[in-house]
Amino acid sequence: MTSKTDRLAYDVDSIVRADKEYLWHHMKPHKLFQDQEQMIIVEGQGLIVKDIRGKEYLDASSGGVWSVVVGYGRDSIAEAVCAQLKKMPYFAGVVGNVPAIQFAQKLIELLPRLGKVYYSNSGSEANEKAFKIVRQAACINAGRKGRYKVLYRDRDYHGTTLGALSATGQAERKQDFGPLCDGFAGFPHALCYRCAFDQNYPGCNMACARALEDVILKEGPDSVGAIIVEPITAGGGIIVPVPEYYPLLESICKKYGVLMIMDEVVCGFGRTGKFWGHDHFDVDPDMVTLAKGLTSSYEALSATVVKESVYELFLNDPADPADRLNYFRDISTYGGCTSGMTAALESTRIIEQEDLVANSRKMGAYLLDRLMTLHDLPLVGDIRGQGLFCGIEFVADKKTKTPISEKTMAQIVAQVHAEGVLVGRTNTSLPGNNTIMNLAPALIVTRDQIDQMVTAIKTGIEKIG
Ligand SMILES: Cc1ncc(COP(=O)(O)O)c(C=O)c1O
């Protein structure tokens, strides 16, 4: 029998060679790396990851895209998944399975104003389901007839598939992938530091939120079905809207019968110091999409969670020939994998049992405080965040807020990595402004680890700046 160690054994040099020969990394300008060895991560424990050459890093990015919320090395998730796989790995989601049912029940306990859970495999796909719900409802429900359009916010990201990309407010992510889908239109972002209306909060009359109404009127209120927003913009540069923002957005949506889709793919599961990102605001979304922290990324799973009133739009009579196709005709093969829901149940149990949302709130406040000590350094323009989700925006000139060059930004990030801390940054998203470093450590982070992160960032800025 092959032992566990045998199965995981490899020869380092041949893996390094094979990486170059066979693997096309995500979001990677490979030409730049033709003569360089790239990072290969082989182990993780808590917040520490080790690369194939044995170098250890403190991961301040929760796996690069803010998703390993309970940290690495959680045996209980692996064991729960293993037991479930042995018992029942898969049956298509056209039927129920026990972990799917149990986790759906758990999600509705955590999102009590919503009523039904629809599973799929990635954040992009969870958003695609939400768009399909909007579009199909616009065909089959008299009250929503023709309301197929979805409005998205500038700087928000909603995924890589063509629909989700069409609903993304980041020009560089969309560039060269056209023609994109019809039926999507943007409205302004909510970042005060670079106010789209050249105003100063609180004397701004919330122009950014009010602009949604202008876009609805321009697009035609009878054609707009929904808006999609991240509660706190993630990849677009860590943007925390002011408290009045969402109530105003919601009142505009209500006025025109427009649904609100809240993309909690990044913010959900405690990232921002409350269980849900939208818990920071007085807002009541009609649909919530989830992925990443849902399983702490130990398995691939996403969910589209909807209000009972949305679900009911699809409760038509299949025996009636006129209604025959008027149920939600959508399926994802892997939406029936039991391992995802099992990992999600265990990851969520850990978050609750270890009170990790409280730790995110407490350590998040400490992280922001410590980052603020960097404010007077050259190149530091703005520092912002909520919970364990913080960003530093770099500028060449603090007065004019001119962003630093991409090259300098890359050098700062590389220097912080060289100091042994993995941080993220805006990455080919915002033309001329991919200059925001982001920190999103696992929710188990300690004060000492935060000190280590801030010291590495300070050194990185001082060495490059
Ligand atoms: C807010 C948000 N929504 C959706 C997605 C897409 O998720 P996935 O990469 O799992 O498709 C992302 C990915 O980073 C995201 O940040």
Q: Is 268 in the pocket of ligand 1 (CB under 6 A)?
A: no
Contact 396, 390 (CB under 8 A): no
Residue 2 has pLDDT above 50, yes or no: no
Residues 6 or more apart whose Cβ sits within 8 Å of residue 20: 38
Residue 230 has pLDDT above 80, yes or no: yes
Ligand 1 center to 422 CA (angstroms): 20
Span 435-460, mean pLDDT? Answer: 98
Q: Is 159 in the pocket of ligand 1 (CB under 6 A)?
A: yes
The preferred substitution site among 26, 233, 266, 296 for testing ligand 1, maximizing ligand atoms within 8 Å of CB, is 266
What confidence score (pLDDT) does residue 1 get? Answer: 43
380: helix, coil or strand? Answer: strand
Indicate the helix (H) or strand (E) that contains 4: helix 4-8
Q: Is 236 in the pocket of ligand 1 (CB under 6 A)?
A: no
Q: Alpha carbon 426 to chain centroid distance?
A: 13
Give the integer Cα–Cα distance in Å for 102 and 116.
12
Q: Is 65 in the pocket of ligand 1 (CB under 6 A)?
A: yes
Residue 84 has pLDDT above 50, yes or no: yes
Ligand 1 center to 292 CA (angstroms): 8
Indicate the helix (H) or strand (E) that contains 200: none
Give the integer Cα–Cα distance in Å for 7 and 446.
34
Q: Is 117 in the pocket of ligand 1 (CB under 6 A)?
A: no
Contact 273, 364 (CB under 8 A): yes
Residue 34 has pLDDT above 90, yes or no: no
What confidence score (pLDDT) does residue 91 get? Answer: 97
What confidence score (pLDDT) does residue 4 get? Answer: 54
Atom of ligand 1 nearest to the CA of 65: 14
The preferred substitution site among 265, 278, 296 for testing ligand 1, maximizing ligand atoms within 8 Å of CB, is 265
| Burial track 8-31 (b if 16+ CB lie within 10 A, e otherwise) | eeeeeeeeeeeeeeeeeeeeeeee
Q: Is 235 in the pocket of ligand 1 (CB under 6 A)?
A: yes
Give the integer Cα–Cα distance in Å for 295 and 281.
25
> In 3D, which of 247, 352, 245, 291 has the Cα closest to residue 128?
291
The preferred substitution site among 124, 125, 233 for testing ligand 1, maximizing ligand atoms within 8 Å of CB, is 124
| Pair type for strands 259-263 and 436-439 | unpaired
Span 31-36, mean pLDDT? Answer: 85
Q: Is 306 in the pocket of ligand 1 (CB under 6 A)?
A: no
Task: Look up the pTM and report it.
Answer: 0.97
Ligand 1 center to 203 CA (angstroms): 33
Q: Is 239 in the pocket of ligand 1 (CB under 6 A)?
A: no
153 forms bridges with which residues in the sheet? Answer: 187
What confidence score (pLDDT) does residue 5 get? Answer: 60
Q: Is 228 in the pocket of ligand 1 (CB under 6 A)?
A: no
For the segment 267-291, what is each residue's pLDDT rounded down to a tens digit?
999 999 999 999 999 999 999 999 9
Ligand 1 center to 147 CA (angstroms): 25
Q: Is 438 in the pocket of ligand 1 (CB under 6 A)?
A: no
For the segment 51-63, what is each residue's pLDDT rounded down to a tens digit?
999 999 999 999 9
For the segment 188-226, what is each residue's pLDDT rounded down to a tens digit?
999 999 999 999 999 999 999 999 999 999 999 999 999
Give the integer Cα–Cα distance in Å for 425 and 165.
19
CA distances in angstroms from 429 to 21, 38, 128, 414, listed in the order given: 28, 22, 20, 19
Ligand 1 center to 4 CA (angstroms): 33
Query: With DSSP H G I counted as helix, E B as strand and the rest as coil, what are the percentages for the chain, rounded to 5?
Result: 40, 15, 40
What confidence score (pLDDT) does residue 465 get? Answer: 80
| 283, HSE (Cβ side, Cα atoms, 13 Å) | 31
290 forms bridges with which residues in the sheet? Answer: 303
Contact 155, 233 (CB under 8 A): yes
The mean pLDDT of the chain is 97
What confidence score (pLDDT) does residue 33 get? Answer: 82
Span 434-463, mean pLDDT? Answer: 98
Atom of ligand 1 nearest to the CA of 300: 10
Ligand 1 center to 454 CA (angstroms): 26
